[in-house]
Amino acid sequence: MLKRTFLATLFAGLIAQAGVVRMEIKEQSDVLEGRSFGKTGGYERIAGKVYFAVDPKLAVNHMIADIDKAPRNKDGMVEFSSDFYMLRPKDAKKGNGAVFCEISNRGNKSLLTNFNRAPGSTDPRKPEDFGDGFLLNEGYTLLWVGWQFDVAATPNLIRLYAPVAEGVKGIVRGEILVDRKETSGVLSPYKVLNPDDPNLKLTVRDRVEGPRTTVPRGDWHIENSNSVALPSGFEPGRIYELVYTSENPPVAGTGLAAIRDLVSWLKYGGAIEGAPSGEERLQRAYNFGASQSGRLIRSYLYYGFNRDEKNRKVFDGMMPERAGAGVGSFNVRFAQPNRATSGIASSLYPADVFPFTDLEETDPSTGMKDGLLTHATPEEFWPKIFYTNTSLEYYGRVASLMQTSLDAKGDVPIPPTTRIYVSASAQHGPAAFPPERRGTQNLPNPNPYTWMFRALLTSLDAWVKDGKEPPSSCYPHVAGSELAPLAKVKFPAIPGVAFPAIVHMAYPSNYGPEFRTKGIVTQEPPELGKPYPLLFPQVDGDGNDIAGIRMPEIQVPLGTYTGWNLRAREIGGSDQLYALVGSFIPFARTKAERAKSGDPRLSVEERYPSRDEYLAKFQQAAKSLASQGYLLPSDVPALVKRGGAEWDLAHQ
C-alpha cells in the first residue's frame, strides 16, 4: 500500500510540476525492521530510478552546457534519468518537514557517517550503518540523487544517466600521475578518437608550471581507447599529459538539473501521504556536500540552479564542506567531474576559476566582474549558506580567495545569508585514529572536527524555520593578522619537519572564448596569467592555527596539527603537497626527550601534570565550544572520551 500511495502521490503532481516525469521504485522496505527512531518512529527505504524531462527553451535551463545539442522527445523536451535513494519517516506527520539531500561524492553516501557517526555504507542495512541515529531521531527525510555520469561501476553507487550530444567533437586533456611506477594509465572518461595519430603528443613535467618535455611518440601508444601504455613506465610524482580529440560528450549539466527538479518535486510536487491538503509536504530543503560535491554546490549556485522551472526556490539552506574557493568540471563539454585539482594532481582543470566570492568582485588582471551568487541567481533565490572548510583548503583549495580581496590586502564582505566556519588545524576530512602514515612525510591529521556538523545543521534549521540567528562566522581574517603570506607563516623549526614551499595555486585561466558563455573548452592546456596571491592561517608557537573553530585537540594539544603534508620521498615529488592530507606531529613525552631532539615545543610532561588535569582542560574547551553553538552539549562526553584515548596513545 505504501508503494502504491507513493506512486499515486507522484503522478498526481505531474500535471503541475515540470522536471520529474516518472519514477521506478525498485525497493520500498522498512529500515531495521521497523525500529523506532526517537519521536519520529519508524523509517522506510525507497530506492529506484527517477526520470526527468526539461524544457531547453526555458531560460533557467540555458545554463546547461550543450543542452541545445541534446536529443529531444516528441514534445521538444530533453530526457535523462538518475538513481535515487531515500530514507523517510513512515508517518510523515512525525517527521520534521525537512528534506536533507546529500550531494553525493562520486556516487557515495556519507550523511550517516558525517552526522550519525556511522562507519559508512553505500547501502545502509545493519544497525551500525545508522550510527547513533541522529538524523533519523531528528525526523529528516534523507535523499540521494545521481548527478555524476562517470561514477565507478560499483553496486549501490548513485549515478546520472545523461543525454549525449551525438556527433559533437572537441578536445580533451588527459592527465596521468602515479605514486609508484606503472606501465599504463587512464587519461579521462573519454576515448581517443584517433589513437594512431602520429601528431598526438604526450608530455611530462615535474611541477604544475614546469616546462613540458615530449615523450617520443614511438615509446607509448593508446590502449583500451582512453589509456596510455608506456612500457618503460610512468615515473612517480611526475605529471604526464595528453591533449586529444574525442566525440559524443554527455550533457553533464543535467545532473545539476536532476538535483534541482527532484528536490523541487518533494517541496512542491504532490501531497505527502496522509495530507491531501498539502499542508504536510516537505517544507524545507537542505543539502550537504563534501569536497568534490561541496564544489558542485558552489557550481549549482553560480549557474542559478536554485530557481526551478516554475520560478520557485529549491534549497532553503546549504552546507558546502571542504570546497575552498573552488567549483569544478561539472557543467562543461567533455566534463571531468572527478578532477579535484589539489597539489600536483589533476592540475589546471577548471576548478579554481574566477569568481571566488559570493558577492561581485573584479578580477584586476582581466577587468571581469562576477560573483558566485550574483552571476545568475536573483537575491530572492539565495539560500542560507554555511561554508565549512579546514586548514587544508587554504593550502590545497585556495580557500583564502573566497574571503579576501584579490590583492590579498583585505577581507571582503559576505552576504547576511552566509556564514563561514573554518576548522582550525584540520585536514580534508579527519584521518583515522590512531593515525598511520601512508605516502606522506608526517602522520596524517586526526583532528575530529566533523563533530561540529550536528550543531551547525541544528542551527541552520532553526535559522530557516524560525529566523533564529546561527553562531557567528568563525574564520581567520586579514584584519586580525590571522592570515599571512606563505613566507610569513611562523611555523616552528621542528627537527625533521619541512614546511611547504610549494602550494596549490589559482590563476586567471583562458580555456577559450566560449568557455564562460557555453562551457566549451577550446584551449588546452589553458593559458595562465599571474597567480592570484594567497594567504594562509597564522599559527602559534606550537604550529597550531590561532583562528577558526579550535577543537579541544587544538586548545589543549598533544601535538601539532596542520592543514598540509608533503609527499614521501619513496613516491616522488617530495617537495610537493600530498593531496588532501594534513599532518599530526606529536609532542615529545618528556622534557628530556624534547631536549635530546631539539624540539622547540614543550613536551606533554611540561604541559600537563596528570591525565586528570589534561582531561579537565579538554572538557572545559569542549563545553566552551558548545556554549558558542559549535558543538551540541550532548556530544561533549563522547569528545572527552576521545580526548582520553588521545592521551593514552601519547603515553604508549
Flag whether pLDDT at 634 surpasses 90: yes
104 pLDDT tier (thresholds 50, 70, 90): very high
Per the prediction, the chain carries an average pLDDT of 94
Close Cβ partners of 502 (under 8 Å, ≥ 6 residues apart) = 207, 575, 576, 577
What's the rounded mean pLDDT across residues 163-176?
97
User: The whole model's pTM is what?
Assistant: 0.95
Flag whether pLDDT at 517 surpasses 90: yes
- Cα radius of gyration (the chain): 25
Q: Which residues of 43-55 are buried (b: 16+ CB within 10 A; e: fewer)?
A: bbbbbebbbbbbb
343 pLDDT tier (thresholds 50, 70, 90): low
What's the rounded mean pLDDT across residues 60-83?
97
Q: Which pLDDT belongs to residue 342?
A: 65
Q: Which pLDDT belongs to residue 406?
A: 97
Q: Which pLDDT belongs to residue 125?
A: 97
Close Cβ partners of 500 (under 8 Å, ≥ 6 residues apart) = 395, 486, 564, 566, 577
Q: Which residue's C-alpha cell is 527512531? A: 37
Of 9-18, 128-137, 249-258, 574-583, least confident by mean pLDDT is 9-18
Domain ranges (residues) in the chain = 1-89+96-163+249-278, 169-247, 283-500+535-652
Flag whether pLDDT at 142 surpasses 50: yes
The Cα–Cα gap between 651 and 608 comes to 12
Flag whether pLDDT at 270 surpasses 80: no
9 pLDDT tier (thresholds 50, 70, 90): very low
The Cα–Cα gap between 529 and 329 comes to 20
Q: Which residue's C-alpha cell is 550510527? A: 131
Predicted confidence (pLDDT) per residue in 193-203, tens digit: 999 999 999 99
Flag whether pLDDT at 281 surpasses 80: no
Percent of the chain residues past pLDDT 70, beyond the cut: 95
Half-sphere exposure of residue 513: CA atoms within 13 angstroms, side-chain side: 0
Q: Which of 519, 121, 118 is nearest to 336 (CA)?
A: 519
Close Cβ partners of 39 (under 8 Å, ≥ 6 residues apart) = 94, 137, 139
CA angle 581, 585, 586 (to 5 degrees): 140
Q: Return the biggest CA–CA distance within the chain.
A: 81
Of 164-168, 205-209, 529-533, least confident by mean pLDDT is 205-209
